[in-house]
Structures are given as C-alpha cells and as structure tokens.
Amino acid sequence: MSSFSEDSRTLSITVYLGCVSLLFAQIAFNFVDIDIWHQMNLIRASLAAGHLLTADPFAYTAAVHPMIDHEWGAGVLAFFLGKWMGAAGILLLKFAAGFGALCLAMRLAQWRGTTAPVLGFLAPLSIVLMAPGFLPAVRAHAYSFLFTACLLWVLELDRRGDHRWLWAWLLIFPFWVNLHAGFVVGLAFVLLYMVEQVLLGKPLRPAVLMLCAMLLEVFLNPYGSRYFSYLARALTMVRARIPEWRPLWTLEWTTTALFVVAVGVILYSVAALRTWRTPGVLLLTASAIEAILHRKLLPFFAITWLVYVPGYFQETAAGQWLQQFAQRRTRFLLLVWTVVIAVCLAAATRQRFWKAEVPQAAGEVSYPVGAVDYLAAEKFHGDVMVPFRSGAYVSWKLYPAVRVSIDSRYEVAYQDEWVERMFRFYEAGEGWRETLNAYPTDLVLVPKTAPVRQLLREAGWKPVYIDAQFELYARPGVQLPEVDQSAESFSGVFP
C-alpha cells in the first residue's frame, strides 16, 4: 500500500511536469506580437509627455479622440521589463502566464477530486486548445487567461463556503481591468456562476456582492467613465478583417476536430452523470459558444474545460476503468510521461525557446525590418502609409520622425471605416487612389504580394527601397536614394 501511494505521488508530479513540458513545446517559438510595439510606444510617449496620452500622436491620419487603450497596463509591463531585461523580459511574462494558467487549472481539477491518471489522460487535449493563446511574446490577452484560472479558484472556494478569498480577488481584479479588456469575461463568469448557484439552490449573496464590487472596480482605470463608451464600441464591433476574430472552423481542421472531441467528452460525461445540474456546466457552455464564434477566445474554453471536465469524466465507466488501469500500470505510465517530457524539452530547445524572434520573412507575422533600417539610416522624416500589421513596428522604431497611417490598435485609435479603407487600398480595391490622396502621404510601404504595388508605379510613385518582402514607394518630389536589397535577409531585435 505504501509503495502504491509513493508511486501515485510520483505519477502526479510527473504528470504535471509532462503537461508543462507539452505546453512548453507548443509555445516555444517566440515571435514578438505585433501589438506589443504600440503598447510600449504609448508608454514611452506618455512618459515623455508626463501623463497617459489620450490624444494619438503616432498617426498622421484622423484618429479617434479620446484614445482609450485597454491594454495600457500591458504596455507598462512590456516597456519596463523590455528596457531592463530585453527580450528575456517579455519571454518571462509569456511563460509565466502560460504555465501559471495551466498549473492553476490542473491543481484546481485535482482539488475537485480528479486523480493524476485521469488528469494526465485529458489535460493534453486542453493544452493543445490552450496553446494558441500563448504563442506570441507576449499578447495582452494571455493575462486574461491567467486571471480566468485565478477566478475559477475563487469561485470554487465560494462553492465550498470559504468567502475570504473574495476579498483577495477584489484586490487583484483592478490589475486585470488595466491589463486587458478580457476582464469582461470575468464579469460574465461571475454572472453565470450566480445563475448556477440559483439552479443548485446554493447561497447567492456572496457572489452578488462580488459582482457588484467588480463592476464598481471597472472605474479604477485612468480613463474614468469614458472607458465604458469604449467598451461598448469594442464589444459590439465586427472585426471581419482580423483572422483571430473569425469562427473556430477557420482554424486548421485538426484544431476544430480536437474541439469537437472536447465537447464530446463533456456530453459523454454529463450524460453518464444523468444531470446537467453540476458545477461549471454554464461556464463551459458559454465559453464553448464564444470559442465557436471567435477562435481567439478558444483558450478560455480550454482552461474552463480542464478545471471541470476531468472531474466529470472520472465518475464515468471510462474514468473508473482508467483509474484501475493506472493502479496496475503505474510504472508504465511513469515511463510514458518521462519520454513525453524528454521529447518536449528537446523540441522546445530545438525551437530556441530563449530567443524572441522579430522575423521579416515569416508569412502572416512579418516585419519590415529592412525598410525600417533604411529609413533610419537616411534619417527620414515624414508620413508613411503602412499595412495594418506593420504600423506599430514602424512607429515604435521610427517615431517621432515618422508617423504612420494605421497600426494594429484598431478601434483604440481608428474608425472602422478607415481600417476598411486601408485594407482595400492594399488590395487595390475600389477607391484606392482616394485613400492614397486622403492625407499628405510621403511614402508607401508595400508588401511585395500586395496588388496595389503595380498601380503605384503607374501613378508615378517611385520605388526607392526594395527587398525580398517589402518595397517603399515615394511620392513625386520626395528625394531618397534608390536601394535594392533583394538578395539580403533581415531579422529584427527586441526592443
């Protein structure tokens, strides 16, 4: 009996190490997120101004006023850690958020009664669905995933009658409010938890007080009540041009298939329990619907699934068989997980997990490193039209000498109509020339794959810089030396 107990503890530790290693391998390639540049740029410019800016200084086009940035706190973290530690600072944030969310969810699942064998069997499914949220270094929404795991702990404590941690949560929640607007998921979770308490005949008063306090704490932001008008716009707008806001089935078929499997496990487990009145079902349902509608929200479902579903599954016939198998084959499972750990660590090392990449030639995440270096070398001052995904990088590297037409702040700084016009411009869509002439543009940064490239030549704009991925076109009258670096390869550095 003592030997089995010792093996069980060893298996539990090995499962944790294996799951962390699996997530590590999934997110080990660290490309710097496109949004981190504008987050840091806001903080740098605000420090120079002596206050948090609400008027946009980075664009030469018409910007939204007041500019309310829901990620300003993430910018503070990225700016100062990047300044003090370089790329290691943002990698620390990324891995801390990812591993923290995973370990909190796994520990809570165990606290809810899930054994190590069942957790080890199901957790990898959740990890694969969770991983996209922690791929870039570092997305502000990674903080929302971590805070969601913390909130699920607080709600579980409240279920058990321990209300003391509600006060600790209320000290933490304002940080979430100022790091990322994903805190609205936390508000929704508490509201659904209240409904669950009513359905289960449990005390409601602590959760009501908690939700009211959280709503009041939303005012603890540097923008005051104006933040609510921003939230109303941000939460209701359609982001058809942004891939991560598209439906789940627009991801790779394997991810969609795994999501279907995860939902199937829920349905099987709840059917075996013969009741829907079980803790967490409403949270799972809501997060699953949101994940289907917007693939960016998939990690919320994955974390919630990991907390609740293993406990459901354990009570089924399949779960009972798995536990009996683990009792007979504990040493075998230890060997399997040891191999998983070794393979995952090797994979993470091969991907150079210690480096933060700023790639120029990397498909969807591609930075105009060469073009920016060229403008810096020429000490260029002026206004540059840029693609949506490139603007923040250009602005961070070249502001205040250079202002841009747009960047990935989207609704934070720009009207929907202007964002759409910029996308149509690079597609050479209707009205491209009117967009070009709408503001006094000096240069246009053009990806080589953009259809508007040929039209600019025909309109008399001259290519002054060319490399394998990007070109810079100058309006008539702008004098810059012509440089062709098509044979060169470029890689940027952070910060």
The band of 162, judged by pLDDT with boundaries at 50, 70 and 90, is: confident
More confident residue, 364 or 285: 285
What b/e string do you get for 369-386 counting C-beta neighbours within 10 Å, with b at 16 or more? bbbbbbbeeeebebbbbb
- Identify the pLDDT of residue 7: 60
Secondary structure element (H or E) that encloses residue 403, with its range:
strand 402-404
- Identify the pLDDT of residue 362: 64
pTM of the model as a whole: 0.94
Q: Using alpha carbons, list the distances in angstroms from residue 89 to 80, 83, 179.
A: 8, 8, 16
Least confident of 98-112, 307-321, 363-377, 413-427: 363-377
More confident residue, 160 or 21: 21
- Identify the pLDDT of residue 248: 93
Percent of the chain with pLDDT over 70: 98
For 320-327, what is the mean pLDDT? 88
Nearest Cα neighbor of 450 from 385, 382, 399 is 385
Nearest Cα neighbor of 33 from 103, 87, 80 is 87
pLDDT at 240 exceeding the cut of 90: no
Over residues 332-380, the pLDDT tens digits come to: 999 999 999 999 999 999 999 999 999 887 666 689 999 999 999 999 9
- Identify the pLDDT of residue 365: 67
Residue 343, amino acid: V
More confident residue, 242 or 463: 463
Least confident of 174-188, 224-238, 359-373, 427-441: 359-373
Distance CA 242, CA 307 (A): 30
Q: For the chain, give the mean pLDDT.
A: 93
